[in-house]
Structure 1
Amino acid sequence: MDAIFKALNDAARREILDSLRKRDGQTLSDLEPQFDMTRFGVMKHLAVLEEAKLITTKKVGRFKHHYLNALPLQEVIDRWIEPLLAKPVAQGILDLKQQLEGAAKMTDKPDFRMETYIRCTQDALWDALTDPEKQAHYHFMADRITREGNTVTYHTPAGVMLICTETHQEPKTLISSTFEPKWEGPDMAKSRYDYLIAPQGDFCMLAVEHYDIPEGQQGVAEGWSRMFAGLKTFLETGQPAKFGYGG
């Protein structure tokens, strides 16, 4: 927690986080012109933010992309404020490049990346991600989830909201899937995502990398936030947890 407050106790670092909130995945070269400081100065601020787990990174070729990672802030808020009033996101630093080289799409830059750190076994996490009955306990909107082969359909009282077809699996480590939203009608553009899993002793690291997000669908980031919050709570407490939209 001290690292978080140290990282936030600087206007330049707060501005870097604001910039990443507006446009995730920026490189050092993208960020440098936005600030009245040297390239080395920006690098030092990024290192502090990464150490505090307020940003996460993904290296694609020669470039290192930076993503806002807000779960540590959520944990600070949860210490004093009712958790359901906040927006849980993800935490931890997850670098699976060496473990998944050749399996995940390491040559692609995701439009969105989020990570969390869950106290559970790798088997339990895999089951929670692939068993539709378990998924229904933590998905923030779907009240019923069905699976036919490698296709998973998410249902709400209003109808089908999402169809995901798994295109590749590496058991307990990687799931690649299409993402076909239906909540605004049948003609919404498709995209794709990866789940990346890595056991860490008594914990598991989980990341989602979402690619090719169409214009107008950037709001899926909040959906991932709510789903990851529910998944983490479900696995750590054994109780259903659905962080749906209020109102």
Structure 2
Amino acid sequence: MHPDAVFKALADPTRRFLLDVLRERNGQTLSELCARVEMARQSVAQHLTVLEAANLVSTARRGREKLHYLNPVPLHEIQERWIEKFERPRLSALSAVKRRAEDAMTGKPTFVYVIYIESTPEKVWQALTDPELTRLYWDHRNVSDWEVGSGWEHQRLDGGVDVVGRVVESSAPRRLVTTWADPSGAGEPSRVSFDIEPYGDIVRLTVTHVDLADESERQAVGQGWPAVLSNLKSLLETGHVLPEAPWAMPV
């Protein structure tokens, strides 16, 4: 994302206030945000569109509701470009405090990741649900008929199963929601939603992983999802996965 779009989005005080509101409580609907701003619903929606275009806000569907999330990645990129290296440890510590405060408000940790892919919604959907494609970029087969209520399995190539769950929502080629659980039945299941949106001539894929057990699990998925989705992006855009699986490389 070019920094000009970020600076333009931040230039308006209403948009900065909307980001502050999301910082206070992430994952709000348009109606909830409108209740905090004294202007017409359409005007608030237009401001949110500008923030989404700058990638400062991402969205995810929950049933009929559209939830808005603060996306700090563009701000982090600006920090990396203009803030001296000796400031980074202090800022990282502050970011960790912020995450813990947000989790205390929402109950359980949540991870949201947005990636832009030069493809079509249909091809992205197929890449997420076709076991012969998932094995190429994920080293696992995602096996299900993807009907609501059906089970699904995240199968290793040796036939073992690492994750099981149920299909909660399935609206090809735009939205897929599944539960994620340990095959042994240990612990509470988490939930993952894939929201596939046309974005001009490309696709915006938003992965939202909620109800994570703790900060340790969020850190784990925070490393896993970007690696898997980068490999997916490479496969769809070039026809080949990355030369080396990102999750196999040293951190």
Could you say if the C-alpha distance between residues 156 and 25 of structure 1 is closer, same or farther in structure 2, counting changes exceeding 3 Å? Answer: farther
Counterpart of 1:155, as a letter, is R
Summarize the alignment of residues 162-177 of structure 1 with structure 2, pairs less than 5 Å apart: 162-177=163-178
Identity %: 34
Would you say 1:235 and 2:251 are equivalent positions? no
- State the Cα deviation string for residues 147-168 of structure 1 (Å, max 9, x = none): 2544132327795332243233
**Cα root mean square deviation, aligned:** 4.8
The one of 144, 151, 165 equivalent to 2:140 is 144
Q: 5+ residue gaps in structure 2?
A: 11-15, 30-36, 39-43, 79-107, 147-151
Structure 1 position 4, deviation (Å): 4.3
Structure 1 position 51, deviation (Å): 5.5
Q: Within 1, Cα distance between the matches of 2:76 and 2:205?
A: 17
State TM-score, norm by structure 2.
Answer: 0.56
- Does the 8 Å CA contact 1:25/1:111 hold for their aligned counterparts? no
Q: Within 2, Cα distance between the matches of 1:4 and 1:111?
A: 24
- Does the 8 Å CA contact 1:67/1:112 hold for their aligned counterparts? no
- State the Cα deviation string for residues 196-226 of structure 1 (Å, max 9, x = none): 1222342122212223222242222332222
Structure 1 position 56, deviation (Å): 2.7
Structure 1 position 137, deviation (Å): 2.0
Q: Paired residue for 1:191?
A: 190
Q: Paired residue for 1:208?
A: 207
Could you say if the C-alpha distance between residues 74 and 240 of structure 1 is closer, same or farther in structure 2, counting changes exceeding 3 Å? Answer: farther
Q: Within 1, Cα distance between the matches of 2:153 and 2:241?
A: 20
Q: Paired residue for 1:161?
A: 162
Q: Within 1, Cα distance between the matches of 2:127 and 2:185?
A: 27
Q: Within 1, Cα distance between the matches of 2:130 and 2:61?
A: 31
Structure 1 position 121, deviation (Å): 1.7
Q: Work out the number of aligned pairs and report it.
A: 200
Q: Paired residue for 1:32?
A: none
Summarize the alignment of residues 88-127 of structure 1 with structure 2, pairs less than 5 Å apart: 111-127=110-126
Secondary structure, aligned partner of 1:137:
helix
Q: Within 2, Cα distance between the matches of 1:6 and 1:199?
A: 23
Secondary structure, aligned partner of 2:161:
strand
Secondary structure, aligned partner of 1:138:
helix
Summarize the alignment of residues 5-16 of structure 1 with structure 2, pairs less than 5 Å apart: none
- Does the 8 Å CA contact 1:24/1:112 hold for their aligned counterparts? no
Structure 1 position 130, deviation (Å): 0.5
Q: Paired residue for 1:86?
A: none
Q: Which structure has the higher relative contact order (CA within 8 Å, separation 6+)?
A: 1
Identify, as 1 or 2, the structure richer in helix: 2
